[in-house]
Structure 1
Amino acid sequence: LCLIPLNFGKIETIEQFALDICNYFISSYCHVVYVKAYIQEAPWRRVEQNGVPHAHSFIFVPEGIRFCEVEQCQDGCPLISSGIKDLKLKKATQSGFEGFHRDKYTTLPETTDRVLSAELFCKWCYDLYFHTIFLRDIVHESVLEAFSGPPDCGEYSPSYQKTVNDIQMLILARVPQVSFSPFNI
């Protein structure tokens, strides 16, 4: 189903739009007992030629795709989840592969300097029903900060697992109202 948001007013967030869609179907049709809305927000930027924004052409900016999902039963509170997917990240240094369990099948040597390239999928659920701005920008900024470290020197991570843990811990420190679902990097 594709809806044109003419009757929903200004769309502040994709989460609020998904809530509006669920509410519309639940309140408009007595036979509808469950609604699930999934929305993606693709990052498009207007094409520029010689510094002039183009009238009708856009280019996809690969900074990850934001998405949300809202599920609502007729007499229940909505369940809201948000996420970021297809965010490609790379560290040219300051990443290691060390301190892991070794056994007779281990063939890879430890290293303290390697390239780490990853594609992020992060989905979180809101523990509370927010009526205000959703906090996905804070999550996005936290992912980039924890993955990269300070801009002048970065931050060393001995493993992929430590990097993922650092990202999750920073997000939870800044946004304690969320809980994680799948988190892959």
Structure 2
Amino acid sequence: MILGQNQYGKAESRVVRIVRDGATHHIKDLNVSVALSGDMEEVHLSGSNANVLTTDATKNTVFAFAKEHGVDSAEQFGIHLARHFVTSQASIRTARIRVEEYAWERIAVPGPKQHSFVRRDQETRTAQITFDDGGAWQIVSGLKDLVVLNSTDSEFHGYVKDRYTTLPETRDRILATEVNACWRHAWTEETAGARPVDWDRSYAEARRHLLSAFADTYSLSLQQTLYQMGSRVIDQCPGIDEIRLSLPNKHHFLADLAPFGLENDNEVYYAADRPYGLIEATILRDGAEAGIPADLTNL
């Protein structure tokens, strides 16, 4: 028997960091998962824990770092953690940190007290940071569950038809999807000093270009729209080399109103949640090699 690739860690440590600036408070709400790998053969083969940093310790580190380093962004917090685990333990060769960030907005109230928030009804921000003992970094940011819809400017026709095809062609339809995306930064320790990254701004820019491309594209297929969205990010964000998109087609079908003597001129639809088409692709900067991990489970 041969032991293959393996890792261990603590999954989904829910940490909420409050910063109190007088009467005005700020909140960061994260879900952090740590996976460590390295010289771990003996714990599998003989049960020796000599090289094992406990998963409880990794969980405690997450909470301690939230206090000691603060949480500027999901990416920066993950960088602090990944570097710590690899550099502080000789047996750990690679650390992978996955972060989901849940956004809150302030509830506007009169007076000086600003400590009430409401959870935003929007996407979840994600990040995965990987660092190894060779000094190699990989920073992958992303988002999931961002629901978007175009009520027109979408067609679907000219496709292959066989004996089982029943879908009618359309020259005007609703195009709706739930954007799940992750993108890999062209970031290294060396370039960081010369060109520091504002991770929050980088995320906001990538999100903005995804949305603007979705809105701007006259779509003949969801595949075409996906490519335009990814291409816009690569073109407009020079610090990003690769983006992977997973777009489920949230189908909206015209409701049959004829039995009621009513004409349905693209006005009334029923939304079918399943089954659904699932369109996925990766867009790369010309000359860049694919590097987003295949096991990234955000998509």
In the superposition, the TM-score normalised over structure 1's length comes to 0.84
- Which residue of 2 is the match for residue 163 of structure 1? 225
CA distance in 2, matches of 1:84, 1:161: 19
C-alpha change, 1:53 and 1:164, in structure 2 (3 Å) is farther
1:108 to 163, 167, 189: 167
Q: Does 1:174 align with 2:236?
A: yes
CA distance in 1, matches of 2:178, 2:134: 38
How far did residue 33 of structure 1 move? 2.2
Q: List structure 1 segments (4+ residues) > 6 angstroms apart after TM superposition.
A: 51-54
Query: What do residues 92-112 of structure 1 show as CA deviations (whole Å, max 9, x unaligned)?
Result: 111222232223322111112
Query: What do residues 122-152 of structure 1 show as CA deviations (whole Å, max 9, x unaligned)?
Result: 0111233252224222210011101112xxx
Matches within 5 A, 1:122-133: 122-129=181-188, 131=192, 132-133=196-197
* Matched-pair contact (CA < 8 Å) for 2:234–2:243: no
Query: What do residues 75-96 of structure 1 show as CA deviations (whole Å, max 9, x unaligned)?
Result: 2311111111111111111122
CA distance in 1, matches of 2:119, 2:154: 29
- Which residue of 1 is the match for residue 105 of structure 2? 45
- Which residue of 2 is the match for residue 143 of structure 1? 210
**Greater CA radius of gyration, 1 or 2?**
2
Secondary structure at the counterpart of residue 231 of structure 2: helix
Task: Report sequence identity in percent.
Answer: 27
CA distance in 2, matches of 1:100, 1:23: 50
How far did residue 54 of structure 1 move? 6.8
Q: Does 1:85 align with 2:144?
A: yes
Q: Root-mean-square deviation (CA), in Å? A: 2.2
Q: Is the deviation greater in 127-136 or in 51-60?
A: 51-60
2:130 to 59, 71, 86: 71
* Matched-pair contact (CA < 8 Å) for 2:138–2:187: no
Letter of the 1:142 partner, please give it: H
Which stretches in structure 2 are left out of the alignment for 5+ residues?
1-58, 248-299
- Which residue of 2 is the match for residue 152 of structure 1? none
Q: Number of matched residues?
A: 177
Matches within 5 A, 1:9-28: 9=70, 11-28=71-88
In the superposition, the TM-score normalised over structure 2's length comes to 0.54
CA distance in 2, matches of 1:53, 1:65: 30
Which stretches in structure 1 are left out of the alignment for 5+ residues?
150-154
Q: Work out which structure has the larger RCO, using CA pairs closer than 8 Å and 6 or more positions apart in sequence.
A: 1
How far did residue 45 of structure 1 move? 0.7
